[in-house]
Amino acid sequence: MWAGAPVRRWLRGPVASVAGGDVVLWPAALAAVLVAIASYLVGPDRGDVRVDVAMASMAAFLFGVLLAFTIVRTRERLALVQNLVAKGNSSLFSIHQMMAVFPEAERNRIRDLVDGHLTDQIDYRLVDYHLATPSHLALTDAVYALHPDGPQEEAVYKELVALCIEMSADRSLIEAATGQALSAIEWSGLLLLLLLLIGLIAVLPGGTVLGALVVGVLAGTLVTFMILLRKLDRLRWHERVTIWEPTARLFRNMGREPYVPREVIEGGRFVPTGLVRMVEYPDPYPTRSTKIVRVVDVHGSGPGAPPRRDASVGEVA
């Protein structure tokens, strides 16, 4: 029992990466090699080739139609969520700027709440967007509670209230969209069709080396499409250029260091430069009350390269 625990911990990382769609190359290559070897070893020991071809054609048609429809649906969902998140971040920056006409105490309080809401959103996965609702409500309640003094503050206050109302409506749309992930039944159907299709095409070459190579490449391609679908379903597709880079620029425009989880940086999903607030989560997701935030100087050597960290500049309580 004790000896198996380290093995389980060692396997947990790769399995979680594959299940989450974070890695593509080695799962696809592994599937290609295994299917090619199996196809070569099966050789001519198969049933009626005409029956195999007919069943493979039927499975390929069903799998292709279902996969294409599902990818289109998840891409539309991803585009909607990313657009609404970008719109929400723009509204937060507008609130940050418009607070310049208010007294310093109120200005600093609202700007701290804007920063806290942004960091709260980053703490949770995009598919769990609703978990950041308390910080959003704290921000909007503080804006509604402002007491404008003079015509300029009154005019800005009206715009701030309109922005908060619009942000609340957009949040409802984001929460509705993030809740439309593929169900377990849909994933089960796709995976069963994938296994059936790979099994059928593996026996078609009849043991030839060229045929085994071809079906291996085909199997690797099918696995790649399934991983792509997983990334789309988890709202992780192109997250670096649609989520992390715009959010980092937003933090810097507000005069704050970008707030980035350590696992995101070390996984190569986003490699910032300069001073950043690097956050670590000692407890499993979604527990975030024990998070540790340090201001560090990060120097990335490429978009996918592991970063080099200098000594910590400071720690945020």
Residue 145 neighbours by CB distance under 10 Å: 8
Cβ atoms of 173 and 80 closer than 8 Å = yes
Closest CA relative to residue 79, chosen from 183, 279, 235, 198: 235
Q: Break the chain into its structural domains and give their ranges.
A: 19-255, 257-316
Q: What is the pTM (predicted TM-score) of this model?
A: 0.78
Distance between CA atoms of residues 170 and 90, nearest Å? 12
> Cβ contacts of residue 139 below 8 Å, gap of 6+?
95, 110, 113, 114, 116, 117, 164
Q: How far apart are CA 35 and CA 217, in angstroms?
A: 9
For every one of its 317 residues, what pLDDT tens digit does the chain have, with 9 covering 90 and above? Answer: 344 444 444 445 566 556 656 677 888 899 999 999 988 888 777 767 788 888 889 999 999 999 999 999 999 999 999 999 999 999 999 999 999 999 999 999 999 999 999 999 999 998 899 999 999 999 999 999 999 999 999 999 999 999 999 999 999 999 999 988 899 999 999 999 999 999 888 888 877 888 899 999 999 999 999 999 999 998 888 888 889 999 999 999 999 999 999 989 888 888 898 999 999 999 999 899 899 999 999 875 444 444 444 444 445 44
